[in-house]
A = this chain, B = another copy of it.
């Protein structure tokens, strides 16, 4: 964006906020669609059949993205950057599929992903009453947490046992509602098609979150069941006619998380503690991995997955902190909270009372423990091997407990997902592991203090470099058989293991559990307070507000629309020809260099075919790969990005200049046929075969 718009006119939030009332706001539950708004603004009424068809066609990539079924024989389209992890794990030093691209001309050539899990939402059930049934007013926050956890575990287990479907209780409106989501799970997923990363991520990190764009950010997989292509009832029909400016479009995908309904105390925590901490962590890792990658091509290949992820996230968090440091955004949030609190004060019968203060109190405890929680509980020394060791140590202890008392990730209902990750054959490079552990131990000592007892355990009386070498050289967990040998052992047996990683995981576990317990109790206290606030909000605004995103299926809507603000005007569509112009303009230097396949096919391509387009649909990380759908429920594109102004969408929506960015179905079809010669696959995608 810096290149296209003079930076002086960076939009202030106030400018954006003016448009708020009319904006195509919301990430809506499929069982509570924004029917009134759609009718009023676009004269469109989604039928139950339309909703069910879209819901069952939508696919969740469990590693953090979205996609959609595209044929009756199980074809699924997602972004290249969502499929990236699977493609990366199928790559070797000799065959880097990210670089070369991939096309299975026959089903026999389709390549099974190493550890990919897909979820397809089958049903939603409101279980709020059931979850809350065991909660008594006299309970402490910790007791409420235990009671609710037990209730959720029971609901999930009962559902799983009855239906065989993955069953997750989802917390909505920060704890005001609990819904049971049942998913059909696919774990035999095979790679069918991927362009070269150069085409998928043309412009690289510099162009990420910018527009205009020219990215064939797609990859195509096929779901299998029992060794054969899955038979799919609901899949989206592709409409190769595409869209035109002004058309109503929908996204059906899995936005990861938003923080729109947080209180000011939570916003201040995000601004003053959380985002600064995440950014420190991320930028330090970006420097580490880039300096490793610069040592040679094979080094670069080993860590490209992680570098891509960090570059992307770093832009996201930089954008968010920029938003939270905008006094106008903060003032708008403050005004919103003031109005809500005033409303609550005037209606004491709603019982919100001191809910905001309770959240502030909990947030202070969370702030004081945040770094400790991250380093002991959630960063896993930034090591795949340590994560495996920790999971082995934890699962041994947790399976001693009744299902309802376990940490959620070790419950019976999560077992399949857990084992898929534990026994994954994904490549692990010891040199990278060692480097990352040394780095994480150093950061841990810097953030928690070298004299912290847990840091001393982690370092074991050695320097980070020496300790990292000792841990990596002292573990056998690189070998899947070694993991299997330790899995299912009793805690006592595990304690006798001479595996250095396992021993460290066991030694750090008490401190890690302690800080998690502290934070879980505070989160629960916040949920209880949020549930009270939600009642106030509902009394004041009705169902005008959708719940914050939770990496569950949501529907958002908007129009195909260019950007016209501050003097700069950007058309909604780019063309295939535009990519060649942009490459020439940037001197064909990476990341603006064209793949050889594109250069070779230039003469055959219709340069005027639409390639990428923007819309006002509300999206956020996790939405990547969501189908862009028209009124008829047809696939007309696939979202892959948002402009830089979308980064504050985590806290507040505006569509003055912020836009979601999709690949156009017309560009996909033209490129697959003319550049990649994937006509047979295109025939299947267009339902002609």
Residues of A within 8 A of B (CB): 2-3, 7-8, 10, 12-13, 204-206, 271-272, 275-276, 279-280, 283-284, 286-287, 290-291, 294-297, 311, 314, 318, 321-329, 431, 434-435, 438, 441-442, 445-447, 449-450, 459, 461-466, 468-470, 473, 586-587, 589, 591
What are 12 of the A-B contact pairs (CB < 8 Å)? Answer: A2-B435, A3-B295, A7-B434, A272-B449, A272-B450, A279-B446, A283-B286, A291-B311, A296-B587, A325-B441, A325-B450, A327-B462
How many Å from the CB of A301 to the closest CB on chain B?
13
For A318, the closest partner residue in chain B by CB is B442
Q: Is the CB of B10 within 8 A of A463?
A: yes
For A327, the closest partner residue in chain B by CB is B461
A206 proximity list for chain B (CB < 8 A): 291, 294-296
A324 proximity list for chain B (CB < 8 A): 450
| Docked CA distance A87–B139 (Å) | 71
A326 proximity list for chain B (CB < 8 A): 462-463, 466
A205 proximity list for chain B (CB < 8 A): 291, 294
A291 proximity list for chain B (CB < 8 A): 205-206, 311
How many Å from the CB of A589 to the closest CB on chain B?
6
A329 proximity list for chain B (CB < 8 A): 463
How many Å from the CB of A526 to the closest CB on chain B?
22
How many Å from the CB of A652 to the closest CB on chain B?
13
| Docked CA distance A276–B468 (Å) | 20
For A13, the closest partner residue in chain B by CB is B463
Q: Is the CB of A297 within 8 A of B587?
A: yes
How many Å from the CB of A314 to the closest CB on chain B?
7
For A300, the closest partner residue in chain B by CB is B589
A462 proximity list for chain B (CB < 8 A): 12, 326-327
Q: Is the CB of A271 within 8 A of B327?
A: no
A441 proximity list for chain B (CB < 8 A): 325
Q: Is the CB of A204 within 8 A of B327?
A: no
| Docked CA distance A264–B205 (Å) | 44
How many Å from the CB of A92 to the closest CB on chain B?
18
Q: Is the CB of B280 within 8 A of A442?
A: no
| Docked CA distance A280–B286 (Å) | 12
A8 proximity list for chain B (CB < 8 A): 469-470, 473
- Among A272, A294, A589, which residue has the most Cβ atoms of chain B within 10 A? A294
| Docked CA distance A161–B414 (Å) | 81
Query: Among B13, B280, B431, B587, which residue has its beta carbon within 8 angstroms of that of A7?
Result: B431
How many Å from the CB of A571 to the closest CB on chain B?
22
Q: Is the CB of B7 within 8 A of A296?
A: no
| Docked CA distance A324–B451 (Å) | 12
Q: Is the CB of B450 within 8 A of A294?
A: no
- Among A287, A326, A586, which residue has the most Cβ atoms of chain B within 10 A? A287
| Docked CA distance A311–B462 (Å) | 26
| Docked CA distance A275–B449 (Å) | 12
| Docked CA distance A441–B468 (Å) | 36
Closest 6 CB pairs of A and B: A326-B463, A276-B446, A8-B469, A10-B465, A206-B295, A283-B287
Q: Is the CB of B3 within 8 A of A463?
A: no
